[in-house]
Structure 1
């Protein structure tokens, strides 16, 4: 495993810890996030303006300002082949849209694996950038989000997702 660096950025969702290995973003974690790795695995601290983080910080700021709809960052995602397949498909869910776990399972040609898709979704190491917040329950309800349902609601609201503005309202 390559040596890692990390930085912490302020965001409307609270502090975000960005982790990079070999100059590639490999982690984006929220405080209190489920499946957040131990702090000591993040590597040495680095300034947000350092090469591995500068572009990510700029794109995140543009996203939160409502100016960016799709991230374009080099990523180094560590996970099983199935997890990486799910994460690639998550990147195809358009800004402002949602998909169910079952639909995501069908999209990866693994119908009936909605539960496994949900587990892979929950292990996404770069939330927001790989938009796991765009996955909802079969009924369209907000279910499971490693960063908490309030953050999921806010991210979907920022994007204007949901039928008839279901998640719209005060964001920040």
Structure 2
């Protein structure tokens, strides 16, 4: 498993993967930035840079997260939330076929190993509130604003 550390506007992203795909993307407040990016991780690093530069709304590199069958199902559901849109935990539970699984869905969402790429930041509370985010609510708010910036209307 190869590892690279990438500076982002939200901290240092740790990217881990191999020939089967990217297994982990996580965020930390600080850390050593990689001066050399392993070839196997170059596409993921390039696409993440494009995302932060506002040039990319989806990711096309191979994913290989490790999780239970249920977690994999939830993460696949997250991949279907469009860029710039949000969905509540309740809506996601309904979409996955079991409204009563809301807590399990929220738990799987919180264990998502692929920060940004599997967009768990797009899941909000039923009342529209920013709820639970492993990277901190300030990062969730930043990501949602990055994906759906409000434009200032001219007064004149």
Q: Is the 8 A contact 1:136 1:143 kept in 2?
A: yes
Match of 2:97 in 1: 109
1:6 aligns with one of 3, 12, 34:
3
Structure 2 match to 1:31:
28
Alpha-carbon separation, structure 1, partners of 2:134 and 2:115: 9
1:23 deviation in Å? Answer: 4.8
Query: SS state of the match for residue 16, structure 2?
Result: strand
In 1, Cα distance between equivalents of 2:109 and 2:9: 22
Q: Which runs of 5+ in 1 are unaligned?
A: 33-44
SS in 1 for 2:132: coil
Q: 1:113: Cα distance to partner? A: 1.0
User: What is the TM-score normalised by the length of structure 2?
Assistant: 0.89
Q: Give the match for residue 36 of structure 2.
A: 47
Q: Tell me, which stretches of 5 or more residues in structure 2 are unaligned?
A: none
State yes or no: 1:67 paired with 2:55.
yes
Query: Stretches of 4+ moved more than 3 A in 1?
Result: none
Cα displacement string for residues 55-87 of structure 1 (whole angstroms, at most 9, x for unaligned residues): 011111111111111111101111000000000
CA RMSD of aligned residues (A): 1.8
Which range moved further: 15-24 or 65-74?
15-24
Q: Is the 8 A contact 1:16 1:31 kept in 2?
A: yes
**Could you tell me how far 1:13 is from its partner in structure 2?**
0.7
Question: Structure 2: how far apart are the matches of 1:138 and 1:150?
Answer: 19
- 1:128 Cα deviation after fit: 0.2
**Residues 20-46 of structure 1: per-residue CA shift (max 9 Å, x gap):** 1335110001116xxxxxxxxxxxx89
In the other structure, the counterpart of 1:91 is 79
The count of aligned residue pairs is 148
Q: TM-score, normalised by structure 1?
A: 0.81
Shift of 1:9: 0.4
